[in-house]
Chain A
Amino acid sequence: MTNLLSNFCLASAAPGAATLSPILLGPSEAQLILALPIIGLLFCTLCAIFRVKSKAPAFFTVACLAGAFALVVRLYLNKTGTPVITSGFEWFFLEWGDGKGQRLVANFSLYLDSLTILWMLFVTGLATLIALYASEYMAGDLGTGYCRFFAAFNLFVFSMSCLVMGDNLLLLFLGWEGVGLCSYLLIGYFYKKPSAVEAAKKAFIMNRIGDLGLLMGIGLTFVHFGSIEYRDIFHAAQPYIEAAKAGKYNEIPFLVQLIPVLLAIGAFGKSAQIPLYVWLPDAMEGPTPVSALIHAATMVTAGVYLVARMYPLFLLSEYALPLVAWVGALTALLAATIGMAQFDIKRIMAYSTVSQLGYMFAGLGGLSSTGAAFHVVTHAFFKALLFLACGAIMHGFAGQLDLRKLSGIRRLKGWGIVSFGMLVGCLNLSGFPFTSGFFSKDMLIGSEFLTPGMAPIGWILLFTAGLTAYYTFRVFFRVIVGPLHYEPGDELHSAHDEHGHGGENHNEHAHVQDDHQHHDHGHGGHFHPHAPGWAINTVLLTLSVLSLSASALNFLHLPNQPHIEGGIVPELVMESSAAYESPYARHEAHEGTGDGGHEGPDAHGTPSYVPTAIALDDPHAHAGTFLGWNPHAVMFYVSGAVGFIGIFVAFVLHYVGRTTAATAKADALLPMLGPIPGWAQHKWYVDEFYKYSIYWPLIILANLCNLFDKLIIDGIVRLFGAIPRWIGNTIRPTQSGELHGYAAGMAAGVAVLLFIVFILTLR
């Protein structure tokens, strides 16, 4: 038993990896980043057990997460540019031989490179801010779900940290599923609402479908590379990368090329891409801080992270990156069209999230992991800001989210910061010039035009950018500005999202149907919107400032590094395993503006493999252009113009001349489009399509199985039971119950036996 416990040792250095560069041990305090949320989780659990009714869990959580953020900052400051590994304890260690690939190792070890640190910076930073926001936002649930919320919140940060920092795919998978669980728990936070429970379930199951792809990808990775640790994988993949560089994709086994596709399926699930995106809009049933943190800023970017992390493998396939790009572009377009037709502002934000995630994937697929990462970071800030502003509105207007019932709330006292935050977020999202969103989006779209064969995607994205600007400012023009009008939401009738001033006599056991608790809110004119308090305002202001200042990232640069277009974030990515930028983009960055891009990258000696099927016929294809101009240079103007057009259209249709909350000029235009807006409003009936094409067939199959089990399988068993019964019934009459019959039978039996003996002894 002692040796059973003595395994609490640090992960062993793999002896079979002699050819690898020695492991650089990272700072051990990095483990604390994992530990701090766990401490917060334990604290919240204790609070839940002792039914603490104060805000202690929130502030403890904020403290823990802030500590984690500080540690990440420290990591950032101390980073060396090469990946380091910090060993935790052994989780999986299974060995069946001495050779390569005969050892399954997955430890709680952290792989710290600049990509990890980049992700952890905004994850922990945003988590801290949003926890602070939630401390006020969730105050209505003090004593009921408050501790639960923050426990799950901590668990989420822990899982996300595992996902991002793990040094192997299995630890990533742990975090992957862990964030899925937290997402499930937090979407279903208002568990009395059937729609919330349904949404939570949907999110978990949709994610599971992607997870199966990821799991298969992990299996395939192990089988082919003999390890699931990033370091070993990248090492083992080296020969294939060489082959890919030479354009010899036929030397790379099909199964190796399959790995990125499978991983991408996992990423599509987590990051809500076609065909697995339908869970994310429904996930807005959760409390708004959750939507902001998990379903906008961090968790949904896990898919992007996965692709970026495994970028070397994605480069091995001819099909994986085009697949990712097309899926991303189509998702971006589809979600934007749906978003234009929605009335629930949170849902609009959700679809915009799906759309923006599509941008990121398109960026990854368009050979711009740098641009994708840049967009992830900027998007994290402004989308969190937008969600939190929406949340503040929802909080203040008793759950009202319908943009037809809210108007001009900037005119209300105490809503200035919310309005400001909304404006900042909308500007960023719509790519208004010189906002951070503008830079990152430009970088993405520019790369698409640069990369040969990706131009259609660039056009789609450009078009979508216009749609984005339109639907973003549709919200802004209807809700924030215009004539003042508001109606309270239906949460007046429910206790689950309690307001500070209305909940003094709040009954813990109030049920959903209990609607006699809050007379003071009343209806219509009696309703007083409740302006956000200091915590929400602080966070909104901070995020607004951060979102605005994020554009500075474009101009900051890492010391001692060649400058790359896009600033510090792309430079961080370039330091990591995801280091790949379209050779054309790099070329542009060095050449500055001008009419470049017509020269082959080989001229500059940069790595120049183009892992797309499109480029296969000519591996040294020339960089694409945007109508003959250098995409990156032109894109500033083009996308700025597209953004302006979108905003202008929104301005005309939704602001000019609008006198009521419910109607705008746009409504008059709708009939011209025929049934299309209705279809868009119904999300193009994708949910229904899934329901009838997958759900119902499966349910029918399940029922058939159940019947089959009951009738056929159990029937066969019963038949086996029935055979002896039948035989018994058949010979039953022989048992007359009369003594003589038995005696006669006995005598006859004896006679027969004797006769047999007689025959046998007759020689």
Chain B
Amino acid sequence: MQNAATPISAAAAGFQIQDWWLVLLMAVPLAFSFIIAFGAPHRARATALFGTLVAAALTTVVLFQFNWGNGAAFQFQNRIAWLPSLGISFSMGVDSVAMLLIALTGLLGPLCVLASWTAITDRVRTYYAWLLALQAAMVGVFIARDLILFYICFEFTLIPMYVLISLYGSTNRKRAATTFFLYTFTGSMIALAGLVYVAWVNAGLPKDAFEGAGTWTFDIAVLQQAAQGSLTMAQQSLVLLALMAGFAVKVPLFPVHTWLPLAHTEAPTAGSVILAGVLLKLGTYGIYRFALPFCTGAFIQYAPFLAVLCIIGILYGGLICWVQTDMKKLVAYSSVAHLGFCVLGLVALNTAGIQGSILYMINHGLSTGALFLCVGFMYERYHTRSMKEVGGLASKMPIWATFMVFFVMASVGLPGLNGFISEFLCIFGTFQASDTWGKGVWGSSGAPVPGATPGNLGPWYALIAGLGVIVAAMYLLIMVGKVVFGPLREPGAHGDAHGSHGESHDSPGHLPADLTAREITALMPLAIACLVFGLYPMPLFDALKGPVGETVAMVQDVRENGLNNGAAKTASVIDAREGTR
């Protein structure tokens, strides 16, 4: 960690466990994936649980090893040469943003296994092996400091997800899996073009521009400097377009979201949880990590456009949720709306907004992941997700109902639960981010307005996005009102033709009416996290202070000094950071 400035020396300086934490984080799930794939089928799920628990424990250890006081610095850096001729290396390092997302991934791992415990009965080895491989890939995305490593992990997540959906999904799974794969893959191919273009530009720079210029390298820090420093506005716009093509699909933003409801609806429970919990965050993380720092100038210029897309997504997704009858589809469309808030906060480009956005990534993973778990547990009992067929389950499944209401409230953004923190900050950041505050518009006296930050958004954006909060309450409470409350309705009670599941309606299969201890165990950590982060988010604020502050400073710099003057500054910032370490 101390040697981060000269990364290759890690191996030379002898074995230091700090250098290998991240490799371990990725390798452990992968190793367990292989163990499961080649092990005995009847031990697969136990092995998977063990593996994810080991990974979670390891994540916890790394969380404690991480120096949160210096969250902006990339820690545990390590670089293993891979294809030196092309400048590709296994280069890794995490800042606090990545660390928190890794923590989320580590937390969701065992919960997913617990959620699949009885739901997956055939081809268990394939299932759990891919599940763990998926976890490894997701960790890989967050630890990567090399574009190619990032991209490979980013793309590799598609394969396990494809398998999980297409083999273990519900009726329409093949189409969902194919759509999911092709859609996101197409987007990320375009993103790859943008990323490689930046690398190509960097390779053409004079060697003395800064360290790493003029060579073929995919080091993210170097490319960031190159992109910021030497791309013209037109180039940045194109690169931004390419990157957004990949990341916006993954998020997903408004016009490119149609794969998500399909994939969510058809995926098995654990797949939905991971999809909502982490995979969607790859998109926002990509925007935060690449689109924003690479094309800061263009990002600032097109922020209102992106914000409009987000707002359309918020309202449009919310309205569509309203008329859904499939619970999973509803939660999926709610993800479109929620992620709209997340990106909206990001494009606000101020501290509150970006903090809120990053927190949103985590909080949405917790609450929506938990909602999917809840829906999945219900689905396992009734084999339907239709709100027309089930209802009033509170009287039959009080514990489930409690959790459901709890997580719905977290998702609605009730203050005191985690959703509020991020949602409020996103809206608030948008609200603040306007250059016109205090400039004499709206009858303003022209007196300085202390609480505003520069930006292209403003109160109208916040107000219209805020309508999404009302809509969110509407559709989620309608779902709760139909499914949790009201008179008890169970499928098959009126002679529904569910032949094979006929007997499972009165005493649903082998599962008891209400949640089992295993299922409660799966939900409890999420509930606790929701509550703790809702009431005491200060640790998260502090952890994110560094990276967010740096991002905001970078944006500010570009705003004040024009497009390409930032390079020198960035270099000095990076130098300063290296120096302080």
Quote the shortest CB–CB distance from B490 to chain A (angstroms). Answer: 12
Quick one: given A4-B543, A216-B463, are A192 and B451 in contact (CB under 8 Å)? no
Q: Quick check: A224 and B63 within 8 Å, CB to CB? A: no
The listed residue (B63, B258, B469) touching A717 by CB distance below 8 A is B258
Q: Quick check: A96 and B453 within 8 Å, CB to CB? A: yes
Residues of A within 8 A of B415 (CB): 170, 173-174, 176-178
Q: Which of B201-209, B214-222, B225-233, B436-444 contacts A (4 or more CB under 8 A)?
A: B436-444
CB within 8 Å of A: which B439-490 residues: 442-445, 447, 449-453, 459, 462-463, 466-467, 469-470, 473-474, 477-478, 481, 484-488
Q: Quick check: A1 and B450 within 8 Å, CB to CB? A: no
Quick one: given A94-B352, A101-B451, are A255 and B414 in contact (CB under 8 Å)? no
Q: Quick check: A101 and B450 within 8 Å, CB to CB? A: yes
Residues of A within 8 A of B224 (CB): none
The 5 closest A-B pairs by CB, nearest first: A101-B450, A254-B443, A226-B450, A96-B351, A174-B415
Q: How far is the CA of A178 from the CA of B534 in the complex (A)?
A: 13
Residue ID in chain A nearest B430 by CB atoms: A219
The listed residue (B255, B258, B473, B541) touching A94 by CB distance below 8 A is B541
In the complex, 16 of the A-B residue pairs with CB atoms within 8 angstroms, ordered by the A residue number, are A1-B65, A1-B68, A7-B539, A89-B538, A91-B538, A100-B450, A174-B416, A177-B415, A178-B415, A185-B405, A212-B467, A216-B463, A222-B451, A227-B451, A709-B258, A713-B255
Q: How far is the CA of A226 from the CA of B447 in the complex (A)?
A: 13
Quote the shortest CB–CB distance from A97 to chain B (angstroms). Answer: 9
Quick one: given A96-B350, A714-B258, are A205 and B451 in contact (CB under 8 Å)? no
The listed residue (A3, A181, A215, A721) touching B427 by CB distance below 8 A is A215
Q: How far is the CA of A281 from the CA of B323 in the complex (A)?
A: 27
Residues of B within 8 A of A216 (CB): 431, 459, 462-463, 466
Q: How far is the CA of A167 from the CA of B260 in the complex (A)?
A: 42
A253 at the interface (CB under 8 A from B): yes
Q: How far is the CA of A260 from the CA of B188 in the complex (A)?
A: 48
Q: Quick check: A91 and B537 within 8 Å, CB to CB? A: yes
Quote the shortest CB–CB distance from A178 to chain B (angstroms). Answer: 6
Task: Name 6 extra pairs, CB < 8 A, besides A174-B415, A225-B450.
Answer: A3-B542, A99-B450, A102-B450, A194-B487, A196-B485, A224-B451
B549 at the interface (CB under 8 A from A): yes
Q: Give the number of A-B contacts (CB < 8 Å).
A: 197
Quote the shortest CB–CB distance from B545 to chain A (angstroms). Answer: 8
Residues of A within 8 A of B449 (CB): 101, 223-224
Residues of A within 8 A of B487 (CB): 192, 194, 511-513
Q: Quick check: B542 and A192 within 8 Å, CB to CB? A: no
What is the total number of residues of chain B having a CB less than 8 Å from a CB of chain A? 78
Residues of B within 8 A of A701 (CB): 319
Contact with B along A77-89 (1 / 0, CB 8 A): 0000000000001
The listed residue (B182, B405, B444, B452) touching A254 by CB distance below 8 A is B444
Q: How far is the CA of A225 from the CA of B449 in the complex (A)?
A: 7
Q: Quick check: B485 and A7 within 8 Å, CB to CB? A: no
Quick one: given A91-B536, A212-B469, are A201 and B450 in contact (CB under 8 Å)? no
Q: Quick check: B536 and A89 within 8 Å, CB to CB? A: yes
A90 at the interface (CB under 8 A from B): yes
Q: Which secondary structure dominates chain A's binding surface?
A: helix
Residues of A within 8 A of B63 (CB): 1
Residues of B within 8 A of A225 (CB): 450-451
Contact with B along A250-271 (1 / 0, CB 8 A): 0111110000000000000000
Q: How far is the CA of A174 from the CA of B424 in the complex (A)?
A: 11
Which of B's residues lie within 8 Å of A, judged by CB? 63-66, 68-69, 179, 182-183, 255, 257-259, 316, 319-320, 322-324, 350-352, 355, 392, 394-395, 405, 409, 414-416, 420-421, 424-425, 427-428, 431-432, 437, 442-445, 447, 449-453, 459, 462-463, 466-467, 469-470, 473-474, 477-478, 481, 484-488, 535-539, 541-543, 545, 549, 552
The listed residue (A89, A178, A220, A512) touching B459 by CB distance below 8 A is A220
Quote the shortest CB–CB distance from A188 to chain B (angstroms). Answer: 6
Q: How far is the CA of A188 from the CA of B541 in the complex (A)?
A: 36
Quote the shortest CB–CB distance from B494 to chain A (angstroms). Answer: 14
Residues of A within 8 A of B477 (CB): 184, 200-201, 204-205
Residue ID in chain B nearest A721 by CB atoms: B182
Q: Quick check: A699 and B322 within 8 Å, CB to CB? A: yes
Quote the shortest CB–CB distance from A186 to chain B (angstroms). Answer: 13
Quote the shortest CB–CB distance from A106 to chain B (angstroms). Answer: 9
Q: Quick check: B442 and A3 within 8 Å, CB to CB? A: no
Residues of B within 8 A of A726 (CB): none
Quote the shortest CB–CB distance from A715 to chain B (angstroms). Answer: 9
Which of A's residues lie within 8 Å of B, judged by CB? 1, 3-5, 7, 89-96, 99-102, 104, 170, 173-174, 176-178, 181, 184-185, 188, 191-192, 194, 196-198, 200-201, 204-205, 208-209, 211-212, 215-216, 219-220, 222-227, 236, 251-255, 509, 511-513, 698-699, 701-703, 705-706, 709, 713-714, 717, 721
Q: Which secondary structure dominates chain B's binding surface?
A: helix
Residues of A within 8 A of B447 (CB): 253
Residues of A within 8 A of B470 (CB): 205, 208-209, 212
Residues of A within 8 A of B462 (CB): 216, 219
Q: Quick check: B320 and A706 within 8 Å, CB to CB? A: yes
Residues of B within 8 A of A91 (CB): 535-538
Q: Quick check: A253 and B320 within 8 Å, CB to CB? A: no
The listed residue (B258, B425, B539) touching A4 by CB distance below 8 A is B539
Q: How far is the CA of A224 from the CA of B424 in the complex (A)?
A: 18
Q: Quick check: B322 and A713 within 8 Å, CB to CB? A: no
Quick one: given A224-B451, A714-B258, are A201 and B428 in contact (CB under 8 Å)? no
Q: How far is the CA of A7 from the CA of B538 in the complex (A)?
A: 7
Q: How far is the CA of A191 from the CA of B480 in the complex (A)?
A: 11
Most B C-beta atoms less than 10 A away, residue of A177, A219, A236: A219
Q: Quick check: B466 and A705 within 8 Å, CB to CB? A: no
The listed residue (B428, B437, B485, B488) touching A104 by CB distance below 8 A is B428
Q: Quick check: A181 and B394 within 8 Å, CB to CB? A: no
Quick one: given A197-B481, A212-B466, are A702 and B319 in contact (CB under 8 Å)? yes
Q: Quick check: B444 and A255 within 8 Å, CB to CB? A: yes
Q: How far is the CA of A344 from the CA of B549 in the complex (A)?
A: 59
Quick one: given A94-B352, A191-B394, A192-B395, are A4 and B68 in contact (CB under 8 Å)? yes
Quick one: given A90-B538, A181-B409, A253-B443, are A191 and B69 in contact (CB under 8 Å)? no
Quote the shortest CB–CB distance from B272 to chain A (angstroms). Answer: 19
Q: Quick check: A93 and B541 within 8 Å, CB to CB? A: yes
Residues of A within 8 A of B450 (CB): 99-102, 223-226, 236
The listed residue (B69, B424, B538) touching A93 by CB distance below 8 A is B538
Q: How far is the CA of A225 from the CA of B478 in the complex (A)?
A: 38
Quote the shortest CB–CB distance from B468 to chain A (angstroms). Answer: 10
Residues of B within 8 A of A251 (CB): 445
Quote the shortest CB–CB distance from B101 to chain A (angstroms). Answer: 16
Quick one: given A1-B68, A223-B452, A253-B445, are A702 and B488 in contact (CB under 8 Å)? no
Most A C-beta atoms less than 10 A away, residue of B415, B421, B443, B463: B415
Q: How far is the CA of A699 from the CA of B549 in the complex (A)?
A: 42
Q: How far is the CA of A408 from the CA of B112 in the complex (A)?
A: 63
Q: Quick check: B474 and A205 within 8 Å, CB to CB? A: yes
Most A C-beta atoms less than 10 A away, residue of B68, B69, B320: B320
Q: How far is the CA of A93 from the CA of B183 in the complex (A)?
A: 40
Q: How far is the CA of A99 from the CA of B431 in the complex (A)?
A: 19
Residues of B within 8 A of A99 (CB): 450
The listed residue (A196, A198, A226, A705) touching B451 by CB distance below 8 A is A226
Residue ID in chain A nearest B472 by CB atoms: A208
Quote the shortest CB–CB distance from A634 to chain B (angstroms). Answer: 41
Most A C-beta atoms less than 10 A away, residue of B322, B395, B414, B416: B416
Residue ID in chain A nearest B452 by CB atoms: A223
Residue ID in chain A nearest B549 by CB atoms: A96
Quick one: given A94-B351, A223-B449, are A1 and B66 in contact (CB under 8 Å)? yes
The listed residue (B478, B535, B543) touching A201 by CB distance below 8 A is B478
The listed residue (B66, B257, B432, B485) touching A219 by CB distance below 8 A is B432
Quote the shortest CB–CB distance from A534 to chain B (angstroms). Answer: 31
